[in-house]
């Protein structure tokens, strides 16, 4: 599955018209930034946003980390698709980040360059009603509801910028596959130790009705402490719940663990077979027991 994801992004890079993707990539600029055109959203789209928001908001207590819930509430984004420029003003004051509107998935190089410059790409289109429970490509609900709130947290915001810089480096070192796994298992599907138990901080979980329930329940999925090298070896599937969840103690750990130069790590990983998504290695302790 990992290669199909890589091929998928390579397709975006090759076909700049992005014909295979939902968004409108015609006459796209170098940085893939477009206008949000907020006035073009229909009342049906705002109503669908409200339904998506309401469904997730009811699930957050006891499942999402405190930092996410606090930031989300401050965004007042429940009533309809938010205006990115209004959010950007508040976000810039909080942590120096801005939102940039994009037509959908964009090539790695462009994506990481935005992150390295404290610009978070947010897709402008909203899913169809029949995609209420699952969507393959990130839409505005996944990107805004899932990713934007934690950009108000200073430690997390610094981490995402470092991640962007790390992505550019990984592309030079041939470590993109490994770094994409780290991104997947932390920024998209990561869990953190909360005061009262494990909590979700990954955007892919927080924007998913099903996985936000599933990820904390005892199941056949593993819940193990994050080890960056182990995580970078672990394959993932893009169309099912995670078979392994990696758990951090706090955002400082995430920032600290990803600060070192990964060059030697990429070299070691190139010599090793990737691990299937459902691997549990000897010595690894399950943090959620049935
Ligand atoms: N483009 N718009 C957008 N959003 C993403 O999350 C994204 C992307 N392009 C590349 C990419 N993610 C991956 O390289 C990362 O998930 C590692
Ligand atoms: Fe995402």
What are the beta bridge partners of residue 123?
102
Helix residue spans in the chain (DSSP H) = 2-14, 43-59, 66-75, 84-95, 108-116, 140, 154-173, 176-183, 203-206, 209-214, 228-233, 251-257, 263-270
Angle between helices 154-173 and 84-95 (to 10 degrees): 100
Question: CA 51 to CA 240: how far, in whole Å?
Answer: 23
What value does the mean pLDDT take over residues 183-195? 96
Q: Which ligand is nearest to the CA of 99?
A: 1
Question: CA 201 to CA 64: how far, in whole Å?
Answer: 6
The answer to whether 83 touches 99, Cβ cutoff 8 Å, is no
Task: State phi, psi for 189 to the nearest 5 degrees.
Answer: -135, 35
CA of 282 to the centre of ligand 1 (A): 32
CA of 188 to the centre of ligand 2 (A): 6
Question: CA 64 to CA 202: how far, in whole Å?
Answer: 9
Q: Among 8, 111, 187, say which to mutate for ligand 1: greatest number of ligand atoms within 8 Å of CB.
A: 111
- Would the pLDDT of 90 be above 60? yes
**What digits encode the pLDDT tens for the residues 224-243?**
999 999 999 999 999 899 99
**Ligand 1: which atom is nearest the Cα of residue 106?**
1
pLDDT for residue 136: 84
**What digits encode the pLDDT tens for the residues 132-169?**
998 989 999 999 999 999 999 999 999 999 999 999 99
The protein residues having their C-beta less than 5 angstroms from ligand 2 (an ion) are: 138, 203
What value does the mean pLDDT take over residues 211-220? 95
Q: Tokens for 221?
A: 């999925």
Which residue is associated with the tokens 């996985």?
Answer: 211
Quick count: other Cβ atoms within 10 Å of Cβ 61? Answer: 8
pLDDT for residue 75: 97
Distances (CA, A) of 76 to 44, 56, 84, 97, 108: 19, 14, 13, 18, 31
Would you place residue 28 in the very low, low, confident or very high pLDDT band (cuts 50, 70, 90)? Answer: confident
Secondary structure (DSSP) of 235-279: ---TTS--SEEEEES-HHHHHHHT-S--HHHHHHHHTSPPBPTT-
The answer to whether 115 touches 160, Cβ cutoff 8 Å, is yes
**Ligand 1: which atom is nearest the Cα of residue 188?**
16
Residue ranges around ligand 1 (CB below 6 Å)? 9, 102, 105-106, 108, 111, 121, 123, 138, 180, 183
pLDDT for residue 15: 47
Quick count: other Cβ atoms within 10 Å of Cβ 195? Answer: 6
pLDDT for residue 256: 94
Question: CA 54 to CA 48: how far, in whole Å?
Answer: 10
Mean pLDDT of the chain: 93
Burial class (CB in 10 A: 0-12, 13-18, 19+), 11: middle
What value does the mean pLDDT take over residues 15-41? 82
pLDDT for residue 19: 46
Q: Which ligand is nearest to the CA of 206?
A: 2
Count CA within 13 A, CB hemisphere, residue 277: 20
What is the residue with the minimal CA distance to atom 1 of ligand 1?
105
Angle between helices 84-95 and 66-75 (to 10 degrees): 130
Q: Among 10, 100, 106, say which to mutate for ligand 1: greatest number of ligand atoms within 8 Å of CB.
A: 106
- Would the pLDDT of 64 be above 90? yes
Would you place residue 8 in the very low, low, confident or very high pLDDT band (cuts 50, 70, 90)? Answer: very low
With a pLDDT cut of 70, the percent of the chain lying above it is 93
Identify the DSSP state of 136: S
Task: State phi, psi for 216 to the nearest 5 degrees.
Answer: -105, -5
CA of 138 to the centre of ligand 2 (A): 6
- Would the pLDDT of 215 be above 50? yes
Question: CA 178 to CA 99: how far, in whole Å?
Answer: 26
Report the CATH number of the 12-269 domain: 1.10.800.10
Burial class (CB in 10 A: 0-12, 13-18, 19+), 23: buried
CA of 279 to the centre of ligand 2 (A): 24
Would you place residue 194 in the very low, low, confident or very high pLDDT band (cuts 50, 70, 90)? Answer: confident
- Would the pLDDT of 2 be above 70? no
């Amino acid at each position: 599955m990992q290669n199909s994801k890589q091929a998928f992004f390579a397709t975006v890079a090759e076909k700049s018209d992005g014909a295979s993707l939902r968004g409108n990539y015609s006459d796209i600029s170098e940085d893939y930034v477009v206008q949000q055109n907020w006035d073009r959203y229909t009342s049906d789209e705002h109503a669908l946003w409200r339904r998506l928001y309401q469904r997730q908001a009811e699930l957050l207590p006891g499942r999402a980390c405190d930092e996410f819930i606090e930031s989300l509430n401050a965004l007042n984004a429940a009533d309809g698709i938010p205006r990115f420029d209004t959010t950007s003003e508040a976000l810039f004051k909080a942590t120096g980040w801005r939102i940039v509107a994009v037509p959908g998935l964009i090539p790695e190089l462009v994506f990481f360059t935005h992150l390295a410059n404290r610009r978070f790409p947010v897709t402008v289109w909203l899913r169809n009603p029949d995609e209420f429970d699952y969507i393959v490509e990130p839409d505005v609900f996944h990107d805004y509801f899932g990713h934007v709130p934690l950009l108000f947290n200073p430690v997390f915001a610094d981490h995402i910028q470092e991640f962007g810089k790390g992505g550019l480096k990984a592309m030079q070192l041939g470590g993109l596959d490994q770094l994409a796994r780290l991104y997947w298992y932390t920024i998209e599907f990561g869990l953190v130790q909360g005061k009262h138990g494990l909590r979700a901080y990954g955007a892919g979980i927080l924007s998913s009705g099903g996985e936000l329930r599933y990820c904390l329940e005892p199941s056949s999925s593993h819940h193990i402490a994050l080890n960056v090298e182990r995580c970078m070896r672990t394959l993932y599937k893009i169309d099912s719940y995670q078979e392994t969840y990696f758990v951090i103690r706090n955002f400082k750990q995430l920032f600290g663990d990803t600060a070192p130069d990964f060059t030697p790590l990429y070299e070691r990983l190139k010599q090793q077979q990737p691990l299937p998504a459902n691997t549990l290695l000897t010595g690894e302790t399950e943090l959620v027991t049935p």
